[in-house]
Amino acid sequence: MHLLALGLSHRTAPVELRETLAFGPEELPGVLARLRDEARVEEVALLSTCNRTELYVAHPVWPDPEVLIRSLAAQKRVDPENIRPYLYRREDLEAAAHLFRVAAGLDSMVLGETQVLGQVRDAYQAAAAAGTAGKVLSRLMTGALAAAKRAQTETGIGQNAVSVPYAAVELARKLFETLQGRVVMAIGAGETAKLTVRHLAAAGVGRIYVANRTLDRARELAAEVGGVPIPLEAIRQHLPEVDVVISSTGSPHPILRREDIQQALRARRGRPIFLFDIAVPRDIDPAAGQLEGVYLYDIDDLEQVVAANIEERAREARRAERLLEEELARFRAWLAVQDVVPTIRLLREKAEDIRQAELQKALRKLPGLDPHQRRVVEAMSAAIVNKLLNDPTQRLKALAEAGEADGAARLVTLLFDLEGPDVGTRALPLPARAERAAPPVGQG
């Protein structure tokens, strides 16, 4: 059985093109059925996210990628010539290695992100429901999910925030241990501030004040996160009750002075306050950071945290790669064994035919046997055949796992004079590195 992965992603195609080939969950049953029928392949799955669209195909002989490309493009009314230059292909174990890396977040725009794991699971479930995921793709995709889960649980690849909003939230969480019930104030409604407030709201904070020079913009963000809009002039009034401040205005001068923070601290009776100043020029007087109980981070501080976290994720990614190679080796061994299954099946079928013929001869010569005695004789003959075939079966599987399936299958076929379709197989070398890329479609 051959494996083929064919697709495009954020690494090869612009977002405008990726959008044209994005498929929603409701489209998948029809899309998968049409791909299977038009390309005449046994198994097909489709992974479609905002960053990638990838086909995974399993078939006894090499499927024609051009048919797959045309079928995929036709379902979105796209000219195949417009997408062909952006496509890549992976074959056999390279296809498996690619899916393992995708599921683990090693091929994502944000290294180690975990959302793609659920998307791979959805793609598998959609193919299974459509009846287009057979034995090979089922094993491939469940193997990828298991490998990705190991990478996430046994390494820190998904830990450590790698964006400024996430970094701010994680720092606040470390200071307060829990963000449940904490009071937040957003000053300004820029994009980074919006993202930070959304993450804080998702983390379960309590009241959220949103202050902005334009009150309508404050109301807009406050409505989205269940917050309270306030005019910019009211920030000092509410500051004593606030645990976390995110400030991102376009003011040329600081809008919170050291004295403002000091006054709020006295009212807070020693409770710490976390200040994220992500404005340029800065909104908060840097001298406020010298006050006891004040934790002040500006945009440079947060970007340094992000840079350090990205470096840490890269180190963890190298550990994850080694785990994926272990899981890929297991899949390779399983796939190799599948190529000798026809030989094993033919061998056992021939042995069973011989057993049944000889059993009937023996029973005709022993007409006086009662039903219990007949069952004993039949069970004995079955046990003899099973025990005789057990060692050859296990050795054949072991040789297949060692990459010697071709010769072993042909030898068994010759020795036992087996009849049936070609039971030879192909050697499947394990790639030296799981991330090694196959050539693009146009070159492969």
The residues annotated as belonging to the active site are 50
DSSP 256-269: B-HHHHHHHHHHHT
The owner of tokens 């890929």 is 328
Question: What is the total residue count of the chain?
Answer: 444
In what order do the strands lie in the sheet containing 43-48? Answer: 43-48, 52-59, 2-9, 88-91
Cα-Cα-Cα-Cα dihedral of 58, 65, 71, 17, to 10°? Answer: 110
189 annotated binding-site participant: yes
* Buried/exposed code over 299-326 (b: 16+ C-beta within 10 A; e: otherwise): bebbeebbeebbebbeebbeebbebbbe
* Extended beta strands in 109-243, E state: 184-187, 208-212, 228-231
Confirm or deny that 113 is annotated as ligand binding. yes
126 is in an annotated binding site: no
Residue 188 assigned to a binding site:
yes
User: CA 59, CA 32: separation in Å to the nearest integer?
Assistant: 15
| Residue 211 phi, psi (nearest 5) | -115, 140
Max Cα-Cα span within the chain: 110
105 is in an annotated binding site: no
* Residue 436: how many other CB atoms lie within 10 Å: 12
309 is in an annotated binding site: no
| Residue 206 known to bind ligand | no
Residue 288 contacts residue 294 (beta carbons within 8 Å): yes
**Ligand-binding site membership of 134 (annotated):** no
> Annotation-wise, does 435 bind a ligand?
no
Question: Could you tell me how many helices (H) and strands (E) the chain has, helices first?
Answer: 16, 10
Residue 108 counted as an annotated binding residue: yes
Determine contact, residues 291/266, Cβ cutoff 8 Å.
no
Pair 69, 441: CB distance under 8 Å: yes
Is 52 a known ligand-binding residue?
yes
**Distance between CA 189 and CA 250 in Å, rounded?**
10
The reply, when asked if residue 50 is annotated as ligand binding, is yes
Known binding-site residues equal 49-52, 108, 113-115, 119, 188-193
Known binding-site residues for substrate equal 49-52, 108, 113-115, 119
Known binding-site residues for NADP(+) equal 188-193
